[in-house]
């Protein structure tokens, strides 16, 4: 292995990344826009309310006076949002499309209500509604309030967006680019030099890992200025976790690019891998309660382990030792992908 040759290729790839203004800008802008978008949508508050449709009311804004026929305890329940509809048909259409969780008729002496049988959210609201009809009496159980706001959705989401950006950048930036180089003959030109496949792949991997971590820091700093994220654990541990994640995802990119000259096929292959990872690795939502086979499948994906480790450090204050199993999986994925990628690599086929 010749480090001078690796450095040369490393430098060439970095030139390309930093000078391609469109790709360079998008790498930073994409995660920033997603985080900013969610920040704006949720306005800094939690999104965990239930929506209760009421009819007939002339406007969609429901005041206490308008809905005075509902139990006061129900109206005063936190996290319930009341939305007015002028007719039953209008409200029922929204219920069927899950736009509201529960629908109540205001002018019904029997307190008639509708909910979807299969809706867990509707079920919860129904229980609240029924409880509000019980006269006040001695309480059941002893309440212990936990102080503080807990973890915001944005704090939970942020590592997911960073890791997702890392995944896209690693798989497209390595997998797709190497196939393009193979197709246009640039790899063939390098094949005619003493550069070995291992040296070339090492340079590509190092360059991409550096760029991923650079993007990570820039995006983090940019987003931090606006949302001020909470990191319960050590920044160093978090950085190490992301470095391992970047390495494993880049190695996966190298494996995808080991052969092939069709950009279209590679594009399909990258999509085939990134989309399931995006949905099964808990970037956007938790898989708690999902079928066991879905959770087992998600365990096979490196993004799952990267995200779990990052969230444990960031949200729960875990140490590096505590995320050791996830780190080992990431190392294992790196090793397997690198060995397979180097063994299968072809300069021109």
Partner 1 sequence: MPPILEVNNLVKRYRTVTAVDGISFAIPRGICFGLLGPNGAGKTTALEVIEGIIPPTEGEILFNGTPKTEAFQQEIGIQFQHTSLLNFMTVRETLLIFQRLYQAPESIERLAEICNLGEILDKMNDRISGGQAQRLMLALALVNRPKLLFLDEPSAGLDPQARRYLWDIIRGIKNEGRTIVLTTHFMDEAEYLCDEIAIMDHGRVISRGAPAELVNRYCAGVTISLPRASVRTPLAELPFSHREVNGRLEITTDRVDAGLAQLLALKVDLAEMTVHSPNLEDVFLHLTGRKLRE
- Helix axes 153-170 and 197-227, enclosed angle (nearest 10): 150
User: Which residue is associated with the tokens 């190392």?
Assistant: 331
Please select the residue that binds partner 1; options are 189, 224, 285, 328, rule is CB under 8 A: 189
Q: Which has the closest alpha carbon to 204: 145, 257, 127, 137?
A: 257
Please select the residue that binds partner 1; options are 72, 130, 184, 262, rule is CB under 8 A: 184
- Which parts of the chain are beta strand (E)? 50-55, 80-84, 102-105, 113-114
Residues 193-222 touching partner 1, rule: CB under 8 A, are 193-195
Contact 301, 275 (CB under 8 A): no
Task: Give the CA-trace dihedral at 147, 320, 253, 169, to 10 degrees.
Answer: 40
Asked whether position 191 contacts partner 1 by CB under 8 A, the answer is yes
Asked whether position 127 contacts partner 1 by CB under 8 A, the answer is no
Asked whether position 192 contacts partner 1 by CB under 8 A, the answer is yes
Asked whether position 4 contacts partner 1 by CB under 8 A, the answer is yes
Asked whether position 16 contacts partner 1 by CB under 8 A, the answer is yes
Q: Which stretch binds partner 1 (CB under 8 A): 37-45, 119-127, 188-196, 264-272?
A: 188-196
Task: State both tokens at 231.
Answer: 């990191």
Please select the residue that binds partner 1; options are 25, 44, 185, 325, rule is CB under 8 A: 185
Q: Which has the closest alpha carbon to 16: 188, 203, 165?
A: 203
When the beta carbons of 23 and 320 are compared against partner 1, the nearer one is 23
Asked whether position 48 contacts partner 1 by CB under 8 A, the answer is no
CA distance 237 to 309: 10
Asked whether position 19 contacts partner 1 by CB under 8 A, the answer is yes
Please select the residue that binds partner 1; options are 5, 308, 311, 312, rule is CB under 8 A: 5
Please select the residue that binds partner 1; options are 12, 93, 287, 290, rule is CB under 8 A: 12
When the beta carbons of 24 and 279 are compared against partner 1, the nearer one is 24
- What does each C-alpha distance from 287 to 49, 120, 334 come to in angstroms? 20, 16, 25
Asked whether position 8 contacts partner 1 by CB under 8 A, the answer is yes
Q: Which has the closest alpha carbon to 250: 13, 7, 29?
A: 13
Burial class (CB in 10 A: 0-12, 13-18, 19+), 148: exposed
When the beta carbons of 15 and 275 are compared against partner 1, the nearer one is 15
Asked whether position 1 contacts partner 1 by CB under 8 A, the answer is no
When the beta carbons of 116 and 186 are compared against partner 1, the nearer one is 186
Task: State both tokens at 221.
Answer: 């700093």
The residues that touch partner 1, with contacts defined as CB under 8 A, are: 4-5, 7-9, 11-12, 15-16, 19-20, 181, 184-186, 188-195, 347-348
């Amino acid at each position: 292995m010749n480090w001078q040759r690796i450095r040369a290729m490393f430098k060439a790839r970095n030139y390309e990344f930093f000078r391609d203004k469109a790709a360079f800008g998008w790498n930073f802008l994409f995660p920033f826009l997603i985080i900013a978008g969610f920040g704006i949508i949720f306005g800094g508050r939690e999104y965990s309310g239930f929506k209760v449709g009421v009819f007939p009311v002339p406007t969609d804004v429901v005041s206490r006076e308008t809905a005075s026929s509902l139990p006061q305890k129900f109206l005063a329940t936190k996290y319930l949002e009341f939305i007015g509809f002028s007719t039953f048909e209008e409200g029922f259409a929204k219920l069927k499309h899950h736009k509201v969780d529960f629908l109540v008729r205001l002018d019904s002496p029997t307190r008639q209500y509708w909910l979807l049988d299969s809706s867990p959210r509707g079920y919860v609201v129904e229980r609240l509604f029924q409880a509000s009809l019980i006269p006040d009496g001695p309480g059941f159980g002893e309440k212990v309030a936990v102080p503080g706001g807990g973890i915001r959705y944005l704090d939970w989401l942020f590592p997911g967006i960073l890791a997702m950006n890392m995944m896209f950048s690693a798989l497209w930036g390595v997998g797709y680019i190497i196939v393009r180089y193979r197709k246009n003959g640039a790899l063939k030109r390098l094949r005619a030099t003493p550069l070995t496949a291992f040296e070339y792949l090492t340079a590509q991997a190092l360059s991409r890992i550096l760029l991923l971590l650079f993007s990570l820091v820039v995006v983090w700093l940019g987003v931090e200025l606006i949302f001020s994220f909470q990191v319960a654990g050590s920044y160093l541990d978090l950085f190490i976790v992301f470095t391992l994640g970047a390495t494993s995802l880049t190695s996966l990119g190298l494996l995808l690019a080991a052969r092939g000259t069709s950009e279209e096929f590679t594009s399909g292959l990258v999509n085939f891998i990134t989309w399931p990872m995006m949905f099964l690795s808990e970037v956007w939502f938790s898989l708690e309660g999902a079928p066991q086979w879905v959770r087992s499948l998600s365990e096979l994906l490196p993004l799952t382990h990267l995200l779990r480790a990052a969230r444990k450090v960031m949200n729960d204050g875990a140490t590096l030792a505590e995320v050791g199993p996830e780190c080992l999986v990431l190392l294992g994925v790196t090793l397997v992908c690198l060995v397979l990628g180097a063994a299968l690599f072809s300069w021109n086929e």
